[in-house]
């Protein structure tokens, strides 16, 4: 292994090669399912700042394995000649991706298949080393992220909802969950512990933060609650938006969430190109940070800070170590969170009581990503990770932190410590929010 690929691993976490193969195959099957039903014409998307050409994004996923595992670790030649100039997201400017000689759909799929087969073939038997485990798991999570991105792109472009072959029919277990959870505050360790098997660099490392006692809503804000704000003229009240938010609202011209439409029977929403009645008890989704902040101002509430969100999700009234998931330290199942795209969209905010945090907060993982009031900055002790050096470093400052997970987020990604981030104007992201008392 080249010296420059040395990864500062904090744990000796390893996975079996067979387990990695299963993950590699499942990630690839999910990705291909999100494009296989699209026509060649649908793959030719217009140049927009919030989407990528489908063929470019598919090639980019394969290139990540090609460059970071096959070439960098195993010393092989890139399977795609000139792949760096075609599919490296930090070499190719976004607007240039529509003008590149990407190759046909068949050629891109052949490239993906060849790289995938080579990665599988180079995994031996037994346990992978910590470095190989890290590299493969990173690449798998990267592919999982692009599965979510493809789902978002299908909604953005008005394409049909993706088919989910393994959708589960379990009941959601809806139970009333009203009011606020009382969180006692105290000294809180924000960030990931060094014992965590896998972390992204913007999670490093846990450090003490003093959190005052606070009250946070036990559920995410619902469509019905947000509709009250809209119907009260909240989008036309500059006093609720702040200077930047009011400029944004005027620029985009919205008077309600992006996908909402009003018809003779009330509010409907455009869901993958089809209008459907707005489900009042479902979590509101596809709202920007500015919209979340304006709602809070109107409702006499506020967004939680990142540390408050983290404490409500991972803490315990009796103290003790942080939980990896709201419900405990073991990965859950499909009765605990709305993940992996299995439900086709946000569900009732009262659903999945089995996934409650120790403080009684519901769906802190799954359903929608949740905006916080905290900007995306590095934590104390942050060091850029190789090989994904561009994951966080270019994005510090303006974006806001989102925590939790969305309904199409991979369950491999979803855990309490994951720090997502987007600019505050984004409405395409499957983001909602919960609120805190002033």
CATH of the domain at 431: 3.90.1580.10
Query: Does the structure show a pLDDT above 80 at 280?
Result: yes
H/E element, 270? strand 266-271
E-only strand ranges, 36-161: none
| The pLDDT value given to residue 2 | 44
Q: Are residues 259 and 370 in the same domain?
A: yes
Query: How many residues appear in the chain?
Result: 438
Query: Does the structure show a pLDDT above 60 at 1?
Result: no
Q: Are residues 82 and 136 in the same domain?
A: yes
Q: Are residues 178 and 100 in the same domain?
A: no
Please give the model's pTM, rounded to 2 decimal places. Answer: 0.96
| The pLDDT value given to residue 170 | 66
Instruction: Select from 128, 156, 184 the last residue of a domain.
Output: 156
Q: Are residues 144 and 225 in the same domain?
A: no
* H-assigned helices in 213-357: 223-231, 242-252, 289-299, 306-314
Q: Are residues 209 and 118 in the same domain?
A: no
Q: pLDDT per residue over 192-232, tens digit each?
A: 999 899 999 999 999 999 999 999 999 999 999 999 999 99
Q: Are residues 16 and 88 in the same domain?
A: yes
Q: pLDDT per residue over 124-183, tens digit each?
A: 889 999 999 999 999 999 999 999 999 999 999 999 999 875 555 567 889 999 999 999
Considering the domain boundaries, does residue 161 fall inside one?
no
Cβ-contact 334, 155 below 8 angstroms = no
In whole angstroms, what is the distance from residue 213 CA to residue 220 CA?
20
In whole angstroms, what is the distance from residue 222 CA to residue 283 CA?
4
E-only strand ranges, 248-354: 260-263, 266-271, 274-277, 301-302
Q: How far is CA 156 from the centre of its chain?
A: 16
277: its two tokens = 């009645």
In whole angstroms, what is the distance from residue 211 CA to residue 310 CA?
11
The single-letter DSSP state of residue 67 is: I
3-state secondary structure of 256: coil
218: its two tokens = 């036990």
Considering the domain boundaries, does residue 163 fall inside one?
no
Query: Does the structure show a pLDDT above 50 at 4?
Result: no
Cβ-contact 308, 183 below 8 angstroms = yes
Q: Are residues 258 and 406 in the same domain?
A: yes
Considering the domain boundaries, does residue 19 fall inside one?
yes
| The pLDDT value given to residue 167 | 54
In whole angstroms, what is the distance from residue 83 CA to residue 168 CA?
38
Considering the domain boundaries, does residue 34 fall inside one?
yes
Considering the domain boundaries, does residue 138 fall inside one?
yes
| The pLDDT value given to residue 6 | 55
Write the CA distances from 244 to 247, 294, 320, integer angstroms.
Answer: 5, 11, 40
Considering the domain boundaries, does residue 165 fall inside one?
no
Mean pLDDT of the 413-431 span: 98
52 Cβ contact partners less than 8 Å away, ≥ 6 residues apart = 45, 60, 94, 97, 149, 153
Radius of gyration of the chain (CA): 22
Q: pLDDT per residue over 332-366, tens digit each?
A: 999 999 999 999 999 999 999 999 999 999 999 99
In which band, very low, low, confident or very high, does the pLDDT at 264 lie, cut at 50, 70 and 90?
A: confident
The tally of domains found in the chain comes to: 2
Listed residue (58, 114, 48, 116) closest to 86, CA to CA: 58
Answer with the residue of higher pLDDT: 386 or 352.
352
Considering the domain boundaries, does residue 111 fall inside one?
yes
What is the domain extent for residue 299? 170-438
In whole angstroms, what is the distance from residue 242 CA to residue 282 CA?
27
In whole angstroms, what is the distance from residue 104 CA to residue 89 CA?
19
Between the two ends of the chain, the Cα-to-Cα distance in Å is 53
For residue 82, give the CATH number of its domain: 1.20.120.450
Q: Are residues 318 and 193 in the same domain?
A: yes
Instruction: Select from 129, 156, 183 the last residue of a domain.
Output: 156
Q: How far is CA 386 from the centre of its chain?
A: 21
| The pLDDT value given to residue 165 | 53
In whole angstroms, what is the distance from residue 260 CA to residue 274 CA?
11
Q: Are residues 145 and 246 in the same domain?
A: no
Mean pLDDT of the 267-296 span: 97
Instruction: Select from 107, 128, 156 the last residue of a domain.
Output: 156
Q: Are residues 316 and 414 in the same domain?
A: yes
Mean pLDDT lowest for which of 146-150, 300-304, 340-344, 384-388? 384-388
Cβ-contact 306, 399 below 8 angstroms = no
Cβ-contact 304, 333 below 8 angstroms = no
Q: Are residues 211 and 305 in the same domain?
A: yes
Omega before 205 cis (within 30°)? Answer: yes
| The pLDDT value given to residue 385 | 86
Considering the domain boundaries, does residue 201 fall inside one?
yes
Residue 363 burial class via C-beta count within 10 angstroms: exposed 0-12, middle 13-18, buried 19 and up? buried
| Secondary structure tally for the chain: helices H, strands E | 10, 13
Q: Are residues 435 and 364 in the same domain?
A: yes
How many C-alpha atoms does 424 have within 13 Å on its Cβ side? 23
Cβ-contact 131, 39 below 8 angstroms = no
In whole angstroms, what is the distance from residue 12 CA to residue 82 CA?
35
Q: How many percent of the chain have pLDDT more than 90?
A: 89
6: its two tokens = 């040395």
Q: pLDDT per residue over 51-109, tens digit each?
A: 999 999 999 999 999 999 999 999 999 999 899 999 999 899 999 999 999 999 999 99
215 Cβ contact partners less than 8 Å away, ≥ 6 residues apart = 180, 181, 182, 183, 436, 437
Mean pLDDT of the 106-129 span: 96
242: its two tokens = 């702040």
């Amino acid at each position: 292994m080249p010296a420059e690929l040395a990864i500062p691993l904090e744990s000796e976490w390893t996975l079996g090669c067979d387990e990695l193969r299963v993950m590699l195959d499942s990630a690839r099957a999910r990705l291909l399912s999100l494009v296989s039903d699209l026509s060649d014409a649908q793959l030719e998307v217009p140049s927009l700042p919030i989407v990528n050409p489908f063929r470019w994004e598919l090639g980019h996923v394969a290139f990540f394995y090609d460059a970071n595992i096959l070439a960098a670790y195993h010393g092989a030649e890139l399977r795609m000649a000139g792949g760096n100039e075609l599919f490296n997201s930090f070499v190719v400017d976004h607007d240039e991706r529509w003008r590149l000689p990407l190759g046909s759909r068949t050629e891109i799929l052949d490239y993906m298949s060849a790289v995938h087969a080579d990665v599988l073939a180079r995994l031996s038997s037994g346990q992978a080393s910590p470095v190989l485990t890290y590299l493969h798991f990173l690449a798998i999570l990267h592919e999982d992220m692009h599965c979510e991105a493809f789902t978002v792109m299908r909604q953005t472009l008005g394409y049909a909802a993706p088919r989910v072959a393994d959708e589960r029919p379990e009941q959601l277990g809806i139970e009333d969950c009203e009011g606020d959870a009382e969180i006692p505050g105290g000294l809180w360790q924000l960030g990931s512990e060094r014992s965590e098997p896998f972390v992204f660099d913007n999670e490093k490392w846990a450090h003490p933060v003093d959190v005052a006692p606070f009250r946070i809503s036990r559920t995410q804000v619902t469509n019905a609650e947000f509709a009250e704000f809209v119907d009260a003229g909240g989008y036309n009240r500059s006093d609720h938006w702040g200077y930047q938010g009011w400029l944004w609202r005027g620029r985009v011209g919205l008077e309600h969430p992006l996908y909402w439409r009003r018809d003779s029977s009330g509010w409907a929403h455009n869901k993958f190109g089809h209008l459907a009645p707005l489900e009042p008890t479902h979590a509101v989704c596809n709202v920007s940070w500015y919209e979340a902040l304006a709602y809070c101002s109107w409702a006499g509430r506020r967004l939680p800070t990142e540390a408050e969100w983290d404490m409500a999700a991972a803490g315990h009234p009796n103290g003790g170590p942080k939980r990896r998931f709201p419900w405990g330290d073991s990965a859950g199942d499909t009765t605990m969170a709305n993940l992996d795209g299995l439900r086709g969209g946000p569900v009732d905010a009262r659903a999945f009581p089995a996934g409650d945090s120790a403080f009684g907060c519901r769906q802190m993982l799954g359903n929608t990503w949740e905006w916080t009031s905290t900007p995306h900055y590095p934590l104390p002790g942050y060091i850029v990770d190789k090989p994904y050096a561009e994951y966080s470093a270019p994005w510090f400052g303006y974006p806001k932190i989102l925590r939790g997970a969305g309904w199409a987020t991979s369950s491999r990604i979803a855990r309490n410590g994951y720090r997502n981030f987007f600019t505050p104007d984004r409405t395409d992201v499957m983001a909602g929010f919960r609120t805190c008392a002033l």
